[in-house]
Amino acid sequence: MSLTLRTISREQHLAYIQSLPSASHMQVPAWADVKAEWRSENLGWFDERTGEMVGAGLVLYRQLPKIKRYLAYLPEGPVINWFAPNLDDWIQPMLAHLKQQGAFSVKMGPPVIIRRWNAETIKRGIQSPDVKRLRDMEADFIEPRAFEVADKLRRMGWQQGEDGGAGFGDVQPRYVFQVPLANRSLEEVHKNFNQLWRRNIKKAEKAGVEVVQGGYQDLAEWQRLYEITAVRDHFRPRPLSYFQRMWTALNTEDPNRMRLYFARHNGVNLSAATMLIVGGHVWYSYGASDNIGREVRPSNAMQWRMLRDAYALGGTVYDLRGISDSLDETDHLFGLIQFKVGTGGQAAEYLGEWDFPLNKLLHKALDIYMSRR
């Protein structure tokens, strides 16, 4: 297949995304409005023979201080046929185009899964003293074509993200936790939860925890819980304006792109979460909770409601987003995987993020600058 690449309109881009079973929420045109501090461009790949669009990418450009050169970033993209035998013919025109646009370096995250580990396998790994990381165990599923993609990228001169995949060093998490929903009944999904999760869902129900959907006007209440969480878990919270922008941008593009949930007890909101939807892929994207009311298990109740809603929407996967690959109980991120494993889903490893230095000197300078931050 002979391909051409050109800039497309947001409408063309959105129509293409809507024609697919799913794509990353970071590759929908409206994501450019969420990331307002970046300049953006929509790219389309076309089959020369038929004129049909066969791929798309959202590119975010970040300008270097004082000079008109840019880092070009395609988060969890581009959305192309990664297993095409002629991957070069897809990637090279993109690099040439981005160079023309003034990019000195390109970063992308191929949405390609290499391995999956089932919850049972992970539980065994946690109990084994010899296992420290997910990779120390044999995966339940391996995608051989993913290794070919990695080889092709290396041969083209792409460099794999710094941490080589230890989890959160990349801009986007390399390891995520997903509950598959396709071809399963809700009863099966519930049965696959571990005993603790099932008990906690029941506990919340008995205590009278209600899970409700909120709207734009409730984002200030979301922010209150999120800032409590940030203090407790030692991270820098995003401002309220970020979530307001996210809500407006994503739901203007598609009224069902972003949802907000609260779990409340006796009229008091105890936990909250945002949910994103693109086709059959549903993400739990941000979570927050108060320091009080934990004994009534609001977070378990909320996840179960979100999962049921994802199922009702025709979701094929409920994605709990990032985990670390560490199975060491002393690791500060261990609680995260422990909580998510309880859903009976799978840990999935993506190919990670890759960089292509178009200007080696500026790329190196950026590396140094980033490492000092």
pLDDT tens by residue, the chain, 373 residues: 899 999 999 999 999 999 999 999 999 999 999 999 999 999 999 999 999 999 999 999 999 888 889 999 999 999 999 999 999 999 999 999 999 999 999 999 999 999 999 999 999 999 999 999 999 999 999 999 999 999 999 999 999 986 544 444 447 899 999 999 999 999 999 999 999 999 999 999 999 999 999 999 999 999 999 999 999 999 999 999 999 999 999 999 999 999 999 999 999 999 999 999 999 999 999 999 999 999 999 999 999 999 999 999 999 999 999 999 999 999 988 989 999 999 999 999 999 999 999 998 888 877 776 666 5
Say if CB 134 and CB 125 are below 8 A apart. Answer: yes
**Cα gap 154→213, rounded to integer Å:** 45
Domain 113-143+161-350: state its class.
alpha beta
Q: What is the DSSP string of 225-276?
A: HHHHHHHHHT-PPPPHHHHHHHHHHHHHH-TTSEEEEEEEETTEEEEEEEEE
For residue 36, give Cα distances in angstroms to 40, 171, 249.
Answer: 9, 17, 10
Tens-place pLDDT, residues 86-98 = 999 999 999 999 9
* Residue 314 tokens, joined: 């025709």
Pairing of strands 113-118, 258-265: unpaired
Pairing of strands 175-180, 3-7: unpaired
Residue whose structure tokens are 């929903």 = 181
Surface-to-core class of residue 109, CB atoms within 10 Å of its CB (0-12 exposed, 13-18 middle, 19+ buried): buried
**Cα gap 91→77, rounded to integer Å:** 12
Report the half-sphere exposure of 311 (CA within 13 A, side-chain side).
18
**Cα gap 111→108, rounded to integer Å:** 9
Q: What is the pTM of this model?
A: 0.94
Residue whose structure tokens are 């990349």 = 170
Where along the chain do the CATH 3.40.630.30 domains lie?
3-109+353-371, 113-143+161-350
CATH of 3-109+353-371, one of 3.40.630.30, 3.30.70.890, 1.10.3720.10, 3.20.20.70: 3.40.630.30
Phi-psi region of 58 (alpha: psi -120 to 50; beta: other; left: phi over 0): beta
Torsion angles phi and psi, residue 160, rounded to 5: -75, 145
Say if CB 266 and CB 302 are below 8 A apart. Answer: no
As a whole number of angstroms, the longest Cα–Cα distance in the chain is: 63
Find out whether the peptide bond into 78 is cis, omega within 30 degrees of 0.
yes
